[in-house]
Structure 1
């Protein structure tokens, strides 16, 4: 019985820790679901909202020690031709993407940084999903195929 309780607590702790990754990703709580307009994608680094398999963005995030770094900001994880930072909502009307990604990478990524970017109109809503090729320009072999909502 004691082993079952300990195992249950461990499983609860492990499953609850993954949602915290969204707070380490720029606009991680606002990534749109490419299949269901108006919905948010629950697991940004995964191949589906319910799947545990990582998509390319999830693997890139993992390789960056679960941090949203300058490198991850500039990368195009899903191969759609749009860098992750742009897909996640960085506004480049006043500064170029590299400057914004350098700024993000050189500061501790936390809620205060995100709030500063939002107040400075440097961060808007995401325009796509950084781990799923969901743009019209995606090559057919990379295009994410939607299931039902």
Structure 2
């Protein structure tokens, strides 16, 4: 019985980590205006760490890296290329020199999404983006 309770507690805890929360957008540079990588869409991708634009569900590769960084914009997270598209997370989010601090103004506007490999139609990116939902 105690193991079932622990199991439920762990599952609930994990579930709370993978839901998109607007406050998380404040923890990364330009978090409120991350470009939508889906074709012909100008609506920002508010669930930055998720496979779908609005958040919730499974974390994308950037979301997983963000969790590993304890939901903190670190130099390591900034310098990483989570979506393996050849651009660092910092470059994609407008902080190429990794100098942004929470509450500050990023050096640049974001240029792409750090959790979605782009261009999406390349063979490498299609494998990385297998669960990305462009709906």
TM-score (norm 2): 0.72
Counterpart residue number, 2:128: 142
Counterpart residue number, 2:36: 33
SS at match of 2:41: coil
Counterpart residue number, 1:82: 87
Counterpart residue number, 1:8: none
Structure with the greater alpha carbon radius of gyration = 1
Instruction: In structure 2, list runs of 5 or more residues that go unmatched.
Output: 1-15
CA RMSD of aligned residues (A): 2.6
- Count of matched residue pairs: 114
Larger fraction in helix: 1
Q: Does 1:46 align with 2:30?
A: no
Q: Deviations over 1:39-86 (max 9, x none)?
A: 100110001124421011111111111001100000000111110011
Shift of 1:18: 1.9
Shift of 1:134: 2.3
Does the C-alpha gap of structure 1 residues 27 and 64 become closer, same or farther in structure 2, counting only changes over 3 Å? Answer: same
Q: Deviations over 1:9-36 (max 9, x none)?
A: xxxxx79982101100111111011114
Counterpart residue number, 1:110: 102
Shift of 1:127: 1.0
Instruction: In structure 1, list runs of 5 or more residues that go unmatched.
Output: 1-13, 91-96, 118-122
Counterpart residue number, 2:9: none
Shift of 1:141: 2.0
